[in-house]
Amino acid sequence: MKFVVIGAGQTGRMVGEFMRRQTQLECIGYLDDNADLHGRIFYNLSVIGGTDRLESLREGGLEGALPVLGNMAARRRLFKKVKDLGFKIPSVIDPSVNLCSDVELGEGAVISLGTNILTGVHIGPYAQIGTGVSIGHDITIGTNCVIGGNTIVGASAKIGDNFFAGTGVNIAAGSKTIGNNVFLCAGSVIFKDIPDNAVVLGNPGRVIRYQDPLKAVL
């Protein structure tokens, strides 16, 4: 499948590196609404314009589009847009990732180098998982998650939709329930359940405020 990456930030550019390691997909380049990036080349792939080109690319026969961004609302909006335009949404998984054979993974996943995902894990669509992440056994993660590098998700956690974990988060093993639209700041350590819409910081993690919920998930 030929596809375009939406977002030429750090993670988006890493997709170009992953593409050099596998042959099942063909990336034609990046779209990014930052005009200063237009024409730049990352990993031999050019930034060919902004997201206003999506419709013409689809009409021209391009089959796939993959949003790769950290902003949760923007991710949700762009995944909906590419679906509405009829694009397929590929997954890009670096060959160094270790996935147990029974892992269930939704469409549109981007999983970075050296990540390990153990048995009995279900991850919903549109997951973006950073470098060196460890996801233990029997874990459920909802739609539209971003998990930063070197995060540890302990066994049996249940995590809702629109979940963001910064770099180096540690969710202790046990039946922890983390609600929808939760933001875990970098380095947070989680020992207890976290309610919907919470922003959490520290060790042990504490709720420092609540954010406005995103609208219904995709």
SS3 assignment, position 199: strand
What's the CA gap between 167 and 27, in Å, rounded? 27
Residue 41's nearest CA partner among 8, 7, 64 is: 8
Give 55-97 as a DSSP string. Answer: HHHHHTT--EEEE--S-HHHHHHHHHHHHHTT-B---EE-TT-
> Was 187 annotated as part of a binding site?
no
> Which of these is catalytic: 137, 177, 210, 211?
137
Return the structure tokens found at 155.
Answer: 């066994």
16-22-24 Cα angle (round to 5)? 105
What's the CA gap between 111 and 127, in Å, rounded? 8
Is 122 among the catalytic positions? Answer: no
Residues with catalytic annotation?
137
Q: Could you tell me which residues are annotated as the binding site?
A: 70
Q: Could you tell me which residues are annotated as the binding site for substrate?
A: 70
